[in-house]
Amino acid sequence: MNKCKKNIMYLLCISLCIWYIVVLYWIWHPNPPSIEYDLYYIENKLIDWSGYRGLKYKLGNKLFFGTNDNKMRKIKHRGKGWSYKEKTGNWTKGNKAYLYFTINEEVPTNLQMSIYANAFAPEGNQVVDVIFNDKKIGVLNMKHSKLKKYNVKIPNEVVKEDHFNQIEFVIHKPNSPYQYGLSDDKRLLGMRVRWLELDLLQR
């Protein structure tokens, strides 16, 4: 019996030593935080916690911005500049709005961004600059209150594979319904997005 106890104690000591070595290794070699963790907790750029690898995007998938839309493909990539989600879409708020994606696949050709959206522009059109990874790639001239699909070409040389990509929308003249006596809504609205899709540009 004593010999059995000694063996058990011996095994426990070895297990504790191994555990201490593992803990010390973790301390000396910490794993870098994920892109999602960094953007959400450290840089405070993401509105929604997307989860680990939650920013990963597969080309050709539509991402929906409304609360009544496809639950499996609801947008988790929103950065600053977006208001709260509504049933049929999501308004930008202020002059700039951001989206973040990681694309873990080869991009052999140019991409096309398709966005189904409308603008709040009682005086006419709303102009929106589209900037991809700090490079201006297009301009949207959007109609007031009319949902429409807009397409913008993304040169493949600006796309970062296996890394996060940033889309920035610059709203030239955000307005509030309150300014025009339409409602008590004082948000500075630019465009309302129903869905967005990135895919290889079809020739």
- The structure's pTM equals 0.82
pLDDT tens digits for range 14-60: 877 887 776 665 556 555 568 888 899 989 999 999 888 889 999 99
Which range, 7-16, 19-28, 156-165, has the best average confidence (pLDDT)?
Answer: 156-165
Non-local (6+) Cβ contacts of 110 within 8 A are 153, 154, 155, 156, 200, 201
For residue 77, give both structure tokens. 């990539």
- Centroid of chain to Cα 113: 14
Report the sign of the C-alpha dihedral through residues 26, 27, 31, 35, in that order: positive
- Alpha-carbon span 52 to 49, nearest angstrom: 9
Closest CA relative to residue 154, chosen from 175, 172, 133, 171: 133
- Count Cα neighbours of 194 within 13 Å in the Cβ-side half-sphere: 12
- The residue-averaged pLDDT of 194-203 equals 89
pLDDT at 84 over 80: yes
Non-local (6+) Cβ contacts of 96 within 8 A are 80, 81, 168, 169, 170, 171
Phi–psi pair at 58, nearest 5 degrees: -100, 125
> How, if at all, do strands 96-102 and 111-119 pair?
unpaired
For residue 183, give both structure tokens. 């409602």
Phi–psi pair at 10, nearest 5 degrees: -65, -45
Considering only 36-45, 112-121, 183-192, which range has the smallest mean pLDDT?
36-45
Q: H-type helices in the chain, by residue range?
A: 2-28, 35-37
What's 69's DSSP letter? S
pLDDT band at 193 (very low <50, low <70, confident <90, very high): very high
- Alpha-carbon span 143 to 87, nearest angstrom: 20
Phi–psi pair at 37, nearest 5 degrees: -60, -45
Three-state SS string over 103-139 comes to ECCCCCCCEEEEEEEEECCCCCCEEEEEEECCEEEEE
